[in-house]
Amino acid sequence: MMNSNAVMSDDREFQMTNADFERISKLAMQYSGIVLAEHKRNMVYSRIARRVRALKLNRFSDYLNYLEHNHAAEASDFINALTTNLTSFFRENHHFEFLKEELFPKLMVANQGSRKLRIWSAGCSIGQEAYSIAMTLKESSFPLSWDVKILATDLDSNVVETGHSAIYPVDHVDGIDDGMVKKYFNRSHDGRSVQVKEELRKLAFFKRLNLLEEWPMKGPFDIIFCRNVVIYFNKETQRILFDRYADMLPIGGHLFIGHSENLNGITDRFENLGNTIYRKIK
């Protein structure tokens, strides 16, 4: 058994003992539900080291003491440091093809009475998923004269702010057709960045939200995207989360999850349509 006070490596910039890693893991679970397994140890070091450095502290134990005594001020930065925000426009493109070819045409008919559409991008990162949905809406000729809203939420307050600004490095649109880029983005004067055009920005509403806490919105949503989020949670947390998602969807509502995720053994409230697309059945 390893000594809890053992240091990861003598040549590290800061000291992080096994006890420090255990404290970080417990706090990550407590604050966000994220499970930090042993193989995440180097990632944890590199990310929390940024906060140790920024606060001009000497070791991880100093930082953890600071976090406990300054919870209100530091907890958000602690969570932001640990969360991963890998994203791109039209990531897992088959989901957007399904929206355009099958789901949006059906919803145009099914929601004709209310003339309303509600979509939630949960774990939205820097907003590219939400704007991909918005572009797909436009390309499918969905009637945007309807009451259409895309809620985009994330645990990380920094990425939520990026999504709200909708400004991205120009290379982030490299994988999008040139015609689509011209149609939906404005380039900066220096050509180094792009901004999503206002007609799409007004469809997306960005909010910080911890999925494990109380949700202020009432629902229901027609569609929920929660892709590559639950891979960080244990099975019991996943069960609770997907049950809450089901409560936010009507019968027949759709849930999209990530390519490495599935609902097998987690919930029986959805049927699998293939390609990590699920429909609520109860």
Q: What is the DSSP string of 92-113?
A: STHHHHHIIIIIHHHHHHHTTT
- According to CATH, where is 3.40.50.150 located in the chain? 94-280
186 membership: H or E segment, kind and range: strand 185-187
Q: What is the pLDDT of residue 1?
A: 43
Chunked into runs of 10 residues, the chain (282 residues) has average pLDDT values of: 47 88 90 79 90 94 94 84 78 95 97 97 96 97 93 94 96 92 97 96 97 94 94 89 98 94 94 97 96
Our answer to whether residue 154 is catalytic in this structure is: yes
User: Looking up tokens 């436009």, which residue turns up?
Assistant: 138
- Cα 191 to chain centroid distance, Å, stands at 28
Provide the token pair at 135: 């572009």
Q: What is the pLDDT of residue 9?
A: 47
Q: What is the pLDDT of residue 86?
A: 63
Could you confirm whether domain 18-82 is CATH 1.10.155.10? yes
- d(C-alpha 96, C-alpha 132), whole Å: 8
- According to CATH, where is 1.10.155.10 located in the chain? 18-82
Q: Which of 12, 41, 47, 59 is catalytic?
A: 47
Q: Which of 20, 154, 156, 222 is catalytic?
A: 154
Q: Which one, of 117, 105, 101, 85, lies nearest residue 228 by Cα?
A: 85
Q: Is the dihedral of CA 212, 216, 218, 219 positive or negative?
A: negative
Could you confirm whether domain 94-280 is CATH 3.40.50.150? yes
User: Looking up tokens 């004067």, which residue turns up?
Assistant: 189
